[in-house]
Structure 1
């Protein structure tokens, strides 16, 4: 493809998609179809120089930029109206050094590809479950999954990051952050959120040998909610850290509760460990089996293909089990859910020697180390007319639970959270601002909830893109 030359000295390289191109519509779409933004140009970068050129071009042109890999930003932060999207999804090489137990993973890889490439060498990385989530944003925000309690967060296994950062007035350059150089940027990249400091293009991870694991799924009818959820909340953080588990309560219209989990161990041991769950309520389905680890990743990646394409999600952390009143709130909200695609999901994180909670809240940018569980409140819909009531339901639900939970996971961003710096980053926000000032003093990498430069009030830098989503950009000379 012929590079696009503008009146400045830098030209765009890579696969370049403009409005009017047959692939523009597919190229601009986000995973969350609630957002429909119209960038001026999308650059699919194939190599580091493409990223450098795109950042330089954006600065010279004076247009806003966004960084994108898996497109899973829940609030559409990786899309922009009238600006440039720097997409790294074509940069998807994985190189494994099994002897030294490290892997170099380019930032464009989705998790399914990462797991497959690592499995070929019989190693793995503690990461998430959704197969099409990008490893880039997952890592930068922390990275929770079904190996977390044993091996920590994805970011805890990050040894080095290669990143393109802004340089000088209009420039861009590549730097490598590890414990020896730019260690403050490595610290910030371990939980400080995606898109804040530059464009991550490659990670070096510590990886772990893996062969088989045991998995379970237990299903109950909805009426068992007040019997099952309190038991799971006490059990999940107290069981061996080789077992990480989840629980999801569906809307009453669906009428199910489901718990799943993964054990680094055999099926017989897993059946024994889940006995407290099996004694809660009346399980209607129980599955326990030992499988190759790659099959387990596929088991947890199974999704309802009929999921509605638009959604609103918010998150929070539980530092202790919900009291009876909190469980009743979950029952009441899911009894009056806006549709059948509304759920509350929770995963175990801490307790019982968990690798997550053994790390100091300030050792990485991810501060929520002492949380026992994480919650995700979600509502999904198809038609625009349903949007307001779904969003309001999530907002009211989060507010109702707020006396019993704290904070939010930066990978579950929520534009309705006013004091989001405290919710996402807690005690680490001050240091993150220092890192931002050092590596992005001109605030090139900014979006509605990006870490600010300087000491502005949080409202002065948190305004979202106000353009109408359906408006086509205008082009100047």
Structure 2
């Protein structure tokens, strides 16, 4: 098969297969829990290359997977003995129209590069935080980021989508042409279901005149639970939070730099489309009892709740490069985004075998990792995530208390970062309900359980550790079942339903992610454009 695809491919098309010198580099995906051995990785340069791969795999009955950045949390962008259609070489932003504020952005472009290039014209897209995530998977899954309340999901800024269908044909789908049903399905229906997306036409958003980013920390249990509860209750109110402000809360066990004690600490970080002065007023209005009377001028470099400043966040109350009367900008918008991501997705600093509330299980490590991952989503690591939304009638205080209790009673080691993220929603997300395939637009926020272990330099592994951390995520989610429902396809967890090889169980799992109504519509689109299920993987949508 490898020789056959190389023989049929155009001259110069880069194909790396088993036995090639760079094979073990090419096969790596973001979640290194999955050590798949694909038959070959094809690095497509053009739409025609993608069509060639689709036609070849269809005609020769060869399984394939589509990979834009390799960040599929359950590893479903790869598989043993499959052809990997890699889009990372299709990475040039084109057709930038400054008058209409539009640009074509390819699926294989990394977010960090998108931010850097668009910043030069004072524009951006409402993307996610992880710099190495590529646009393709992010946007097709919906896309959460810290502009979400003002501009909605990442997919909400897309006006046109170019893709290759199962037939090998290239089409452009938008809301006005005959592919309107496909266009809606591709916005939140998840990647790799209906075709191979080559690029998106985005309506760009401005970072002028000023965007302010902030980060706050709390240590005392009363403050941690109080501020997260207040945050949740405010988002549950229709007009509780202005749409210009998007923020994430994180609960994590850590030791602050000048503290001797470990505990469940709280963080809040976010982005405000407005001035620092106005942000200070809003923060006091929303969280006044948890803040000092006077926030320092740079609310990142001076920790506003009395603790030592965070080394990664010095001088990080960042703005765009346009001056305002409030302050002179210090770093770029892109650096702003990077520091914010590091803050709300913290790397651990625990001591080995540190335990909180119960005895740690002996994992019999022959070599002790010195620390947990130095980053989370921007380096290959073994990891596990899961997500959910609060039930409509939930008591937010009880939900927050349950999260705190589980974390407090958890066991932590030096090789792992484990925490709960509360991601804001509402605002433009709710306003865009029905214009995409996201099934939970009415929810005020989202919960994401995260566990990342092994620094990228650690070549040792231990099955017992993997099992322990997977169990931690599973048990955490189960402990919240009384308060939560649903899940988000970008933060995918395929273990929510057992035996998903069976059709009835697969449909139960997919309904959790899309809701019943949306899933029925997506299945109709699947039947229309891919009735033979050429695009097939463990959680691909089944035709109706």
1:182 alignment partner, one of 179, 183, 186: 179
Asked if 1:364 corresponds to 2:374, the answer is: no
> What is the rounded CA distance, in whole Å, between the counterparts of 2:399 and 2:183 in structure 1?
38
1:40 Cα deviation after fit = 0.4
The answer as to whether partners of 1:191 and 1:364 remain within 8 angstroms in 2 is: yes
Asked if 1:296 corresponds to 2:332, the answer is: no
The answer as to whether partners of 2:149 and 2:246 remain within 8 angstroms in 1 is: yes
1:160-205 Cα shifts (integer Å, max 9, x gaps): 11111111xxxx1211111223111101011100111111001101
> What is the rounded CA distance, in whole Å, between the counterparts of 2:5 and 2:421 in structure 1?
51
Equivalent residue for 2:326?
none
Distance 1:11 1:89, change over 3 A: same
1:229-263 Cα shifts (integer Å, max 9, x gaps): 21121234622100000111013656421100111
1:61 Cα deviation after fit = 2.4
The answer as to whether partners of 2:5 and 2:56 remain within 8 angstroms in 1 is: no
Q: Which secondary structure does the structure 1 equivalent of 2:200 belong to?
A: strand
> What is the rounded CA distance, in whole Å, between the counterparts of 2:6 and 2:216 in structure 1?
60
Equivalent residue for 2:364?
none
Aligned residues: 444
Asked if 1:423 corresponds to 2:512, the answer is: yes
Distance 1:19 1:12, change over 3 A: farther
> What is the rounded CA distance, in whole Å, between the counterparts of 2:70 and 2:481 in structure 1?
29
Equivalent residue for 1:459?
none
The answer as to whether partners of 1:319 and 1:370 remain within 8 angstroms in 2 is: no
> What is the rounded CA distance, in whole Å, between the counterparts of 2:47 and 2:478 in structure 1?
43
The answer as to whether partners of 1:338 and 1:389 remain within 8 angstroms in 2 is: no
Written as runs of structure 1 = structure 2, the 5 A alignment for 1:102-113 is: 102-113=102-113
Asked if 1:337 corresponds to 2:337, the answer is: no
Aligned Cα root-mean-square deviation (Å):
2.3
The answer as to whether partners of 1:128 and 1:138 remain within 8 angstroms in 2 is: yes
Distance 1:112 1:28, change over 3 A: same
Written as runs of structure 1 = structure 2, the 5 A alignment for 1:408-447 is: 408-418=487-497, 419-426=508-515, 427-447=517-537
> What is the rounded CA distance, in whole Å, between the counterparts of 1:378 and 1:336 in structure 2?
16
The answer as to whether partners of 1:315 and 1:408 remain within 8 angstroms in 2 is: yes
Equivalent residue for 1:125?
125
Q: Which secondary structure does the structure 2 equivalent of 1:433 belong to?
A: helix
Specify every segment of 5 or more residues in structure 2 that has no aligned partner in the other structure, as ranges.
Answer: 255-261, 293-304, 321-332, 348-372, 455-461, 498-507
> What is the rounded CA distance, in whole Å, between the counterparts of 1:182 and 1:307 in structure 2?
40
1:418-447 Cα shifts (integer Å, max 9, x gaps): 232221111200110111111111101111
TM-score (norm 1): 0.88
Written as runs of structure 1 = structure 2, the 5 A alignment for 1:69-80 is: 69-80=68-79
Specify every segment of 5 or more residues in structure 1 that has no aligned partner in the other structure, as ranges.
Answer: 455-477
The answer as to whether partners of 2:90 and 2:107 remain within 8 angstroms in 1 is: yes
1:264 Cα deviation after fit = 0.7
The answer as to whether partners of 1:158 and 1:205 remain within 8 angstroms in 2 is: yes
1:4 Cα deviation after fit = 7.2
Equivalent residue for 2:422?
346
Asked if 1:173 corresponds to 2:173, the answer is: no
Question: As a proportion of its length, which structure holds more strand?
Answer: 1
2:213 alignment partner, one of 198, 212, 215: 215
